[in-house]
Amino acid sequence: MTRLAEDRRGRVPFALLGVLLLVGASTYAATVTTQGPSRIDRDAAVAMERASAGTTAALRSAVGEAARAAAAEPVTAPAETPFGRLLSDDRPFRDALRLRIYLTLRERLRATRYRRGSVRAVAALPGATTPSELRRAMDRVRVAGVENGTALRVTVRNLTVTVRDGERIVAREHRTRTVTVSTPVLALHDRATAFERRLNRSPLEGSGLGRRLTARLYPVAWARGYAQYGGAPIANVVANRHVETTTNGALLETQRAVFGRSDPEGREAMRRAALELGVEDLTAATPIGSDRATRVVPRPNARVDPSSALPTRRGTSAPSPNHRIDVDVAPLAGRSLTGLRTTSIRSNRSLDGVTRAAYRVEARLLTRSRRTYHEPRPEPDPPGDGWELANTTVTTDDEVEATVAEPPTPAANERRFDSFSRLVVLDHRVRWTWQRGNDTRVSSGGWRERYRVGVTLVGEYAPDGPAPDRPTGPLFERGGALGGPNLAGVPEKAVTTLVDRQGGRDAVAAAVAADALEVTERPVYGDRPSDLRSWTDRDLRGLRNRLSNVTVGVRAGAVATYTTNPPGRLAATLRQRRGALIDPPGRYRGAADRARVAARAALVDETIRRLDRRAARHAETRRAFDEVLGRVGIDSPRALRRTLETRTTPVPTQRAGIDGTPPGGNVSPVPDGSPAYLTVTSVSHERARGVPPDRPYRPLSAKNVNLFTAPYGDAADAVSGAASDGSSAVRLRTAARTLVASDGVNGSVDGRASLGNAVSTSLDGLRERARDVVADETRLTRTAAEAAVAEGFARWEDPGRRGLAAANGSLARAIAVAADRRAEGRDPDRRDRLETRLAAAFAEDLRSPSTSVAQERVESVVERVRGRVLGRASDVATKRLYRKRLNETVGAVPAGLPVAPVPGYWYATVNVWDVEVRGAYARFTLRTDRGAPAPGGATRYVRDGSVVRLDVDGDGSRERLGRDERVDFETGTVVAVAVPPYRTGVGDVDGNADERSGTWPEPKCTSWEASACPRSE
């Protein structure tokens, strides 16, 4: 093998290379160790850290400034502009706050710079001028409330810090900064929102303005309603001045519930308004005037007594919806007794029919027949071929002779009245008629039968009627409770009815043998004692008194809302107590005793039947009542009842501030409304700084509608359908009361004479009916009966008062006294019987259209009375003098809806007011010292309806973002009042059933509308 020569050209020895590497590394290490990091790197690091720290301070400052600005001009409704659409509809306030934080922080960062030598550090946010850029910018900012909204935690993402050395960028970082700032802006906004939400709640939607208004207005309405019923000169039970004052009281209570305190100036204004309202109601001489705001609303910054507080409702005995009404049976018990006395005896519901039924005996013939001899009956034999039988006639002759035999034996529960036995021979003759063509032949035959017949006439005591079954004794002999006949004459009547009227004993025996006895049983009624009627009358009067004391207690509120049916409850109560009321003995002492108990049972049952009819009519009236409520937007009486039952006036827990204790203490917002008291009259800038100068502002509008106004006869007929002919007519009582009310006016009233004639005509029918009743009950001559009726009518001088006497029972009592004095003989029960019958007759006639009066005549007189009283007033002062006179006059006119509107029997009169309120504060401020920029300052959250503008694109002009809507509300309630029956009822009788105050309902500059009076810019 040949070794190749080694080529060493251009090569460096390996040892030399290693030496060079070792020397170079040593030299570099020595250089680095000697010099360290560069100056630029060290300055860049310091500038980056200092600038980053400055961004935190800038963000904290920007959040505080943006929060105060957002509170001063809170956006609650976005504008329909490109920049307004940056804010969402459901969270405009928070979105506007994020936008303000971004813009304020961007501005703050421009001053956040740090320089070290030639190195400069700058923090910045991206510029944004278009809506899309601003939307992305807002996405960088997140806000969240902490400590229940009393502090704000803000996070800003992608905040850029850039370090430059001259024009060269040395370093750049994107950082996220989070700070927590003690500012209550979210708490203030959320509380204001919660306050407004509560203001717009209905009475059934929880504890809000609607429920508090209900709680405050109900006592006013019930107190005034009962005062009107008692005769106080009140023509307008629920006026808008009451709605205004109670609404403001409810507003202050809602403030305390939400914020922990109420507006001090509002409390002072409420105190003045309550005093003025009290004076108005007591004197009935100072109506609401245009200067009410001047008298009630305090001047801004006026000294307020720190001890003044919301007026409290002290304990009072004034009626309320919880007031118990005792509904009794008295009127119907008396009518039931009269009905039993006057109904025909053929009716098992008459008193005579019931007592007669207690003397009923079921008489029956028990028969026995045994054939002792008989011959066969011959068969027909035709006279020849072709003859056909055309007719067969059988006649029977009987021979009857007495015999000795055992008649049938009565059952254990039957009494033997008579018995006899007979031997009966029956001779039967038969004739056959034959026919062939035109020829006729007759053939005959006969046969004989003998029978032994026994007959027993028995009777079983079988009383009919409502008396409970009990043993009765003695029977069929004189004695018993009254010592009367006690069915002693029944056997003779039974013999007459079942034996003598069928031909006697022999004829009955022959009929039994021939199986041809037609009548085998008949009811027979015994003779009743002559004093049975008076005895049962006395007993029934005592029972009537017991029935009259049967009552059921119902809440007045349930009556007022038609959600209880007292007649139905009374009927159920009587059914439960029927046995105790009838009180039957364990054994009747003869038929008379049973007749007495049967009469008692009949009275109880008749009263129950009448109550059932009243309950059915009540249910019908309620269905129509539903329709009336539906026309004003009320679902049903149940909804009305729930409004009443859920009304509360919660005593707010006095708190130091909003829940949550952030560093530095509690937040205690102080509400400040402008106007402090919302009136239906105009408020000027002088009284409310939130109202622009020269722009009068009406902060409240109210509407209340009285559903059943004067006269209530037409309302009752319209609701219950009581007018049988469908005509527009009112009852005699209503027409008479209107006629009496017109007496309070000096001078003549057009139409009064016509109304008086109509009332007199209606009374003529009652006069004739009374004469017939008196003649029938007392057996007076026609002339004497007419004289008694005339004496009774003469107790009242004019037709109006006579009509009222006829309706309330006084006329029946007066006629009964006069007739009893003229009647012969002494009868201690006659006057009571006569009064009861007269009252029942009058009640029946008063339901008839013949006693009604045309509605037009009544309304015409009412309107002219009002016009005459007010027409005498030439100026405001004179009107005040006449207002009380007006109330006294038209206050006598009836109003309201009688519950179960039957003349002579109802247990309450009700009326309903549908109330609506709309309002807005011209400016509503929440003030707190938390989050203030300097000690002693305050953070203010202001809602005044102004337009919110902000320069978002940096062009120097402010763009419209939206509006900070006024704190406004719309709510209402329904008030129902029930008073006892008769008198004038309850309701507004001043002719203003639909009362509207303020600018209802048109929105304009002086209205409640939030955008009506924008703040000057």
457: β partners: 365, 418
Higher pLDDT, 903 or 311: 903
Q: What digits encode the pLDDT tens for the residues 308-341?
A: 333 333 333 557 777 787 888 887 888 888 878 7
- Least confidently predicted of 229-243, 281-295, 334-348, 789-803: 281-295
pLDDT of residue 559: 80
Q: pLDDT class for 368, splitting at 50, 70, 90?
A: very high
Three-state DSSP state, 945: coil
**Residue-averaged pLDDT of the chain:** 80
Least confident of 131-135, 276-280, 294-298, 772-776: 294-298
- pLDDT value at 377 more than 50: yes
Decide if pLDDT at 907 tops 80: no
Residue 301 has pLDDT above 70, yes or no: no
pLDDT digits (tens, 9 = 90+) for 600-651: 999 999 999 989 988 888 887 777 677 777 766 666 677 777 777 776 545 4
Interhelix angle 876-890/855-871, rounded to 10 degrees, is 150
Residue 714: partners with Cβ closer than 8 Å, 6 or more residues away: 728, 729, 730, 734, 855
Share of residues in the chain with pLDDT > 90 (%): 38
In whole angstroms, what is the distance from residue 960 CA to residue 950 CA?
7
Give dist(CA 779, CA 403) in Å, integer.
Answer: 57
Q: What is the mean pLDDT of residues 1005-1016?
A: 44
- pLDDT at residue 418, rounded to an integer: 94
Average pLDDT value for residue range 507-511? 95
pLDDT (0 to 100) of residue 326: 82
Higher pLDDT, 1013 or 500: 500
Secondary structure element (H or E) that encloses residue 145, with its range: strand 141-146
Q: Please give the pLDDT value at position 725.
A: 40
Question: What are the structure tokens assigned to 934, written together?
Answer: 């300097």
Backbone angles phi, psi at 419, to 5 degrees: -155, 150
Predicted confidence at residue 649, as pLDDT, reads 47
- pLDDT, average across residues 733-757: 75
With a cut of 70, say whether residue 591 has pLDDT above it: yes
Reported confidence tier of residue 291, pLDDT bands at 50, 70, 90 = low
Q: From the centroid of its chain, how far is CA 592?
A: 51
pLDDT at residue 1016 is higher than 50: no
Which pLDDT belongs to residue 1008? 43
pLDDT (0 to 100) of residue 963: 93
d(CA 431, CA 393): 5
Q: Please give the Cα distance from 605 to 353 (Å, whole number).
A: 14
Higher pLDDT, 909 or 883: 909
Q: Please write the tens of the pLDDT for every residue from 169-206.
A: 888 888 899 999 988 999 899 999 999 999 999 888 87
Ordered DSSP codes for 873-913: --SHHHHHHHHHHHHHHHTTS-BSEESS-BTTB-S-EEEEE
Whether residue 390 contacts residue 377, with contact meaning beta carbons closer than 8 Å, is answered with no
- DSSP character string of 246-265: HHHHHHHHHHHHHHSS--HH
Mean pLDDT lowest among 19-33, 423-437, 628-642, 929-943: 19-33
Q: Where are the extended beta strands (E) located within 507-579?
A: 521-525, 551-555
pLDDT of residue 251: 95
Residue at token pair 């403030």:
255
Q: Which residue reads 């009252």 in tokens?
A: 839
The one-letter amino acid at 860:
S
Q: Is the alpha carbon torsion for 315, 318, 322, 328 positive or negative?
A: positive
Asked if pLDDT for residue 25 goes beyond 80, the answer is: no
Q: Could you count the other beta carbons within 10 Å of the beta carbon of residue 577?
A: 14
Check pLDDT > 50 for residue 923.
yes
Using one digit for the tens of pLDDT, what is the confidence trace for 825-880?
777 778 888 888 888 888 888 877 888 888 778 777 777 766 665 454 334 333 44
When mean pLDDT is compared over 13-22, 202-211, 311-320, the highest value belongs to 202-211
pLDDT tops 80 at residue 977 = yes
pTM value? 0.70
Q: Which residue has the higher pLDDT, 138 or 856?
A: 138
Indicate the burial class of 300 (C-beta count within 10 angstroms; 0-12, 13-18, 19 or more): middle
pLDDT of residue 594: 96
Confidence of residue 101 (pLDDT cuts 50, 70, 90): very high
**Nearest CA among 222, 229, 163, 150 for reference residue 190:** 150
CA distances in angstroms from 126 to 165, 398, 470, 562, listed in the order given: 21, 139, 106, 69
**pLDDT > 90? residue 948:** yes
Asked if the model's pLDDT at residue 306 lies above 50, the reply is: no
Phi and psi (nearest 5°) for 152? -125, 125
Strand partners, 975: 913
The first and second tokens of residue 370, run together, are 């045994």
Taking only the tens place, the pLDDT of each residue in 394-438 is 999 999 998 887 889 999 999 999 999 999 999 999 999 999 988
DSSP state at residue 14? H
User: Considering only CA atoms, which of 230, 209, 210 is closest in space to residue 319?
Assistant: 230
Which residue matches tokens 């303005």?
209
Torsion of CA 703, 706, 710, 714, to 10 degrees: 130
Bond prior to 1001 in cis (omega within 30° of 0): yes
pLDDT in tens, 983-998: 677 888 776 778 888 7
Task: Please state which of the ranges 89-98, 465-474, 884-893 shows the lowest mean pLDDT.
Answer: 884-893
CA distance 604 to 581: 8
Please determine, for residue 296, whether its predicted confidence score (pLDDT) is greater than 60.
no
User: What is the distance between the alpha carbons of residues 643 and 201, in angstroms, rounded to a whole number?
Assistant: 12
Q: Across the strands, what pairs with 919?
A: 700, 969
Cβ atoms within 10 Å of 302's Cβ, excluding its own: 10
**CA distance linking residue 891 with residue 710, whole number of Å:** 10
Across the range 719-729, mean pLDDT stands at 44
| H-run or E-run covering 594 | helix 590-630
pLDDT band at residue 112 using 50, 70 and 90 as cut-offs: confident
Q: Report H helices in 386-531.
A: 490-498, 505-513
Q: What percent of the chain has pLDDT over 70?
A: 79
- Reduced to 3 states (helix: H, G, I; strand: E, B; else coil), residue 293 is helix
3-state DSSP call for residue 578?
A: helix
Please write the tens of the pLDDT for every residue from 218-232.
Answer: 888 888 888 888 777
Task: Give exposure, 323-343, as e/b (b: 16+ Cβ within 10 Å).
Answer: bebebbbbbbbbbbbbbbbbb
Per-residue pLDDT of 642-658, as tens digits, reads: 777 776 545 444 443 44
Q: Is 1008 within 8 Å of 920 (Cβ atoms)?
A: yes
Closest by CA to 813, choosing from 400, 463, 441, 334, is 334
